[in-house]
Structure 1
C-alpha cells in the first residue's frame, strides 16, 4: 500500500485532465488503443493486455512505427523472477512499473504469457534477450499500468513509443483518432477525484438493531461507484466518533461467503455502534482490497492452488493491499467529524487515516472467530499484514 498524500500536497483540480483520464479508462475497458504523452512531450500508445488481440499489437506497431513492449508492475516482475525483492528499491522508484522489451518487440502471445496469472511463473518461457527496466513513477509506462489498474483490469499494458518525433502529442493523437492523456494527469488522478467527492443523496434507512440510521451517498466526479456513510444515532462532532472503515465485499457482505470475515465485520460493526449509541460506518467502494471483484475472483483461483491472499494479489501483479483512504477522510470531513475512535485490527488504517488529516484518538478492537474456512485468511492477515488479533 502506497502512502496517501496529505490534503496540502494535492495539486489543484484540472477538470479537463480528469475527463481525459475518464475517457481513457473507458476506452481501455473496450480494448481500444489510447495515446499517452510523457512528461518530456514524447508520445506513445497503449492497450490493455487483458483485452488485446494479435491484430491490436500489429495495429500498435503500425500506428507508432515502434516496437511493442510490455509494462507490468514491479510486483509482477518480482514474481516472474525478472527482479529481486529490494532491487533498485529507492524512494523515487517506489511503486513504479517495469518495462519489458526485446529486439523486434514482443508478440501478443508473449505479452499474455508474461502477464497471465493463471500460468505458474516458473513455467513461463521468457523471450530470448528480454530486458527489464524499472520506470519512474511519472513515466508513460507507469501511466499505462496505472490506467488499466484504475479500469479494474489486470495491471499490465502493451505499449509502444511513437518513432516520429516531428509532431506534437496532440497532433499525432488527432491524426490517428486516439484519445490522448498525459502521464502526469494519470499520476494525479486519484487525488483529483477524491477532492470532487460530493454528497448527492441521503435518506433514513432503519436497520435491524439500529433503527435510527441514515445513509449518505457520496459520488466522485469521474462517475465511478458511490461511497456510502451509514450514520447510526446522532454522533456529536464535538467528540471523537466511533467509526468503522469497511471496504465493500460482494461475496462476504451480500452472499455470506465463509472465505473471509467481511460479513461478520460489517454486521458486527453496525451492532456495536448501535449498542454504544452512535457512530458512523463508511462503506467504501474498494472491493477485494482495491483490486475489484473480477480480480478478487482471480485471486481466489490462485489461492485454491495453495497460495495465501498476499501471494495471490502479488501473482496478479498487485500490491498486497491497494486500498486508499483519502475518500474516507474526505467523507468524514464533509460530515463534520475530525476525530474518531476507529474500529479496526489493521494498523495501516490507523496510519493512513492519520496522514489524511483525521485524528485517530483510539483503536477499538474488532475481532470475530474463524469459521473453519477462513482460518488461513485470518492467519495471513496477522502474520503478513500485521493485523492485531
Structure 2
C-alpha cells in the first residue's frame, strides 16, 4: 500500500517507506520528520557507478534538499537507461545498517523496486508519528519473519482432469507470511515410495499464458507435464515467483531494459536485484509436506538441485528439459548458461 512503517533496533527507530509508491505529498511528510536517506542495493549502486569505501549489501545516501519524486525514481532505477541519470552531484554513499538491510529485504519480498526512503526518528513520543497511527516493529521480529519465509501449509485440494492426464489433482499451499499461494499439481498417479519425477516451475504469465517467445517457460511447463504423464505420474510445483522472484511489474521493467541493450542478468542488476531472487526452500517444504523425499528433478538449473538437497530432499537424478528455443530467446538462453550456470 506504500504506507511507511517504523523499524525499531534497540532504542533506535527508523521510519521506512517504499520508493516505488512514493508521492510528492508523502515525500513532503517524510521531510517534516527529518532528513530522509535513500537506500539502494549494492547491485544498484554498481549500476550507478558509485561504491562505498567499505563493501556493503545496502548503501544509503542523504536525499538532496532539491530532490523530488523524479530524482528518486531515476536513482532507484525505475526509469530506462536513456533517462536514468539523477544528476552529477550524487551524495557520498554510506554502508547500510541492520534496519536498512531489513527494509530492503521487505521491499524485495513485496516484489517492489528494492529502494527505500528512511528517516531516523529521535523522539520516541513524537506526536507526528502517533498521529500517523504507526507502531514500531522490533527488528528481531522482522528478521524472524523474513527467515520464516517459505513455510507453507496445505489449505485445499481437488481432482482435476487435464489435457496432459485425465488423472490429475491440484493442491493449494498458503504461506504464513501473507505472501503468494503456490500449487502442487499431481499428474497421473505418482508412486511416492519411489523417486518421484518433479518439476519446480516458477510462474511465468508471459510465457505460460501468453506464449511469449522471449523465454522457454511455456514449452518447459507443457513438456514437463507431458513427460510426467508418459512416466505414469509426477508432481509439478507451480511456484508464484514470477520473473525469478522479482514480480511481473519488475520483470516488464527488465524486458524494457533488455530492449535497450542489457541482457537478462544486467537488467536485474540495473533494477537493484540479484540474478535470481527466487526461494527454492518453498519447493522443498511443499515436497516434504506431500511425503516426497526422493525426486527425479526436471531442470536445467543446478541451483534448484542444490537448494532441494540442502533442505532435505534427495535428488537422485536430474532430468534435462531442453525445449522452447526460438530466434527471440536465443540470447536469453545463452546468458542463462554463461552467467547463471544453466545446463543447456
TM range (shorter): over 0.9
Question: 3-state SS of the aligned residue for 1:194?
Answer: coil
Deviation at 1:222, TM superposition (A): 3.2
Deviation at 1:331, TM superposition (A): 0.6
Distance 1:112 1:374, change over 3 A: same
Deviation at 1:189, TM superposition (A): 2.2
- The count of aligned residue pairs is 344
Question: 3-state SS of the aligned residue for 1:314?
Answer: helix
How far apart, CA to CA, are the structure 2 residues paired with 1:243 and 1:123? 42
Question: 3-state SS of the aligned residue for 1:340?
Answer: strand
Deviation at 1:83, TM superposition (A): 2.0
Deviation at 1:32, TM superposition (A): 2.1
> Normalising by structure 2, what TM-score?
0.92
- Give deviations 1:332-369, integer Å, cap 9, x for gaps: 00100011111100011111111122111111111115
Distance 1:210 1:155, change over 3 A: same
Contact kept? 1:69, 1:100, Cα under 8 Å:
yes
Question: 3-state SS of the aligned residue for 1:45?
Answer: strand
> Normalising by structure 1, what TM-score?
0.82
Residues 296-315 of structure 1 mapped to structure 2, 5 A cutoff: 296-315=251-270
How far apart, CA to CA, are the structure 2 residues paired with 1:70 and 1:105? 14
Contact kept? 1:249, 1:262, Cα under 8 Å:
yes
Q: Which position in structure 2 is the counterpart of 1:132?
A: 93
Residues 157-168 of structure 1 mapped to structure 2, 5 A cutoff: 157-164=116-123, 167=124
Deviation at 1:103, TM superposition (A): 7.0
Residues 102-113 of structure 1 mapped to structure 2, 5 A cutoff: 107-113=68-74
Note the aligned Cα RMSD (angstroms): 2.3
6, 9, 15: which one aligns with 1:45:
15
Q: Quick check: 217-226 or 374-383, which moved more?
A: 217-226
51, 60, 68: which one aligns with 1:83:
51
Matched, 1:335 2:297: no
Distance 1:117 1:175, change over 3 A: closer
Q: Which position in structure 2 is the counterpart of 1:213?
A: 168
How far apart, CA to CA, are the structure 2 residues paired with 1:179 and 1:304? 43
Distance 1:127 1:42, change over 3 A: farther
Matched, 1:371 2:341: no
How far apart, CA to CA, are the structure 2 residues paired with 1:150 and 1:121? 28
Deviation at 1:235, TM superposition (A): 2.2
Matched, 1:71 2:39: yes
Contact kept? 2:220, 2:324, Cα under 8 Å:
no
Distance 1:161 1:106, change over 3 A: farther
Structure holding more strand per residue: 2
Contact kept? 2:73, 2:79, Cα under 8 Å:
no
Q: Which position in structure 1 is the counterpart of 2:249?
A: 294
Q: Which position in structure 2 is the counterpart of 1:17?
A: none
Matched, 1:186 2:142: yes
Q: Which position in structure 1 is the counterpart of 2:58?
A: 97
How far apart, CA to CA, are the structure 2 residues paired with 1:265 and 1:51? 35
Distance 1:369 1:285, change over 3 A: closer
Contact kept? 1:259, 1:373, Cα under 8 Å:
yes
Q: Which position in structure 2 is the counterpart of 1:32?
A: 3
295, 298, 304: which one aligns with 1:349:
304
Q: Which position in structure 2 is the counterpart of 1:142?
A: 101
Q: Quick check: 183-192 or 298-307, which moved more?
A: 183-192
Structure 2 gaps of 5+ residues are none
Q: Which position in structure 2 is the counterpart of 1:23?
A: none
Contact kept? 1:118, 1:302, Cα under 8 Å:
no
- Give deviations 1:298-346, integer Å, cap 9, x for gaps: 1111111111110111111111100001111111001000111111000
